[in-house]
Amino acid sequence: ILNVEQSPQSLHVQEGDSTNFTCSFPSSNFYALHWYRWETAKSPEALFVMTLNGDEKKKGRISATLNTKEGYSYLYIKGSQPEDSATYLCAFKGSQGNLIFGKGTKLSVKP
Amino acid sequence: GAVVSQHPSWVICKSGTSVKIECRSLDFQATTMFWYRQFPKQSLMLMATSNEGSKATYEQGVEKDKFLINHASLTLSTLTVTSAHPEDSSFYICSARDGQLEVYEQYFGPGTRLTVT
């Protein structure tokens, strides 16, 4: 059974704090790692698709790194804002399979 | 671009009735659509994959006669929960992939909350 783990489950930070969370996934048969941002009552929004070991991607204040050999990815948010409050999902795609999601990290940013 | 809508956003039905959920790609042609289910505090779990014009492929443990999926056009897929029971109460969400765009990307709808009483 393929398992994708995200930690922490939830996170409360103050506005302006930088934060990061982890996604761990199987290190074999890797094809891609997806990060999504999911606000309540909205569609999950694609943040990054990462395919190569050592990939680093950035979108504004959000960035992500990928280590396929050890099976983990970090998502960083610099200078968190209240509008960053959402659940952040990662999903692993193996070479022969569909997306397997973690349970998400719920981020709350207090003004 | 790449917007997926889902209707209804929430529905309450009585046990034994059937409920249909629609998933539409609004600005692209969805050659493949996916249906997921999420129970409280759990991850999104894939139920089935459908390609336009062909039968859906169901994941292990998902009853194809209970969860009927139709992908009759490149912009519409429907999921019908037949003879619904309280244990079918869950959050159902679809996603769509455009064969012409980047192969990695799936675009999600906002989901449907189903409550069976």
C-alpha B89/C-alpha B86 separation (Å) is 5
Question: Where does the pLDDT of residue B47 fall: very low under 50, low under 70, confident under 90, or very high at 90 and above?
Answer: very high
Residue-wise pLDDT tens digits, A14-54:
999 999 999 999 988 899 999 999 999 999 999 999 999 99
pLDDT reported for residue B101: 60
Chain B partners of A100 at a C-beta cutoff of 8 Å? 46
Residue-wise pLDDT tens digits, B72-87:
899 999 999 999 999 9
Determine the distance in angstroms separating the CA of B81 from the nearest CA of chain A, rounded to an integer: 21
In order of A31, A93, B48, B61, B89, the CA distances from A97 in angstroms are 9, 6, 12, 16, 27
C-alpha A106/C-alpha A36 separation (Å) is 12
pLDDT reported for residue B24: 95
User: In sequence order, which ranges of A1-111 are alpha helices (DSSP H)?
Assistant: none
Chain A partners of B33 at a C-beta cutoff of 8 Å? none
The answer to whether A87 contacts chain B (CB < 8 Å) is no
pLDDT reported for residue A95: 78
Determine the distance in angstroms separating the CA of A46 from the nearest CA of chain B, rounded to an integer: 7
N-term to C-term CA, chain A: 41
pLDDT reported for residue B67: 97
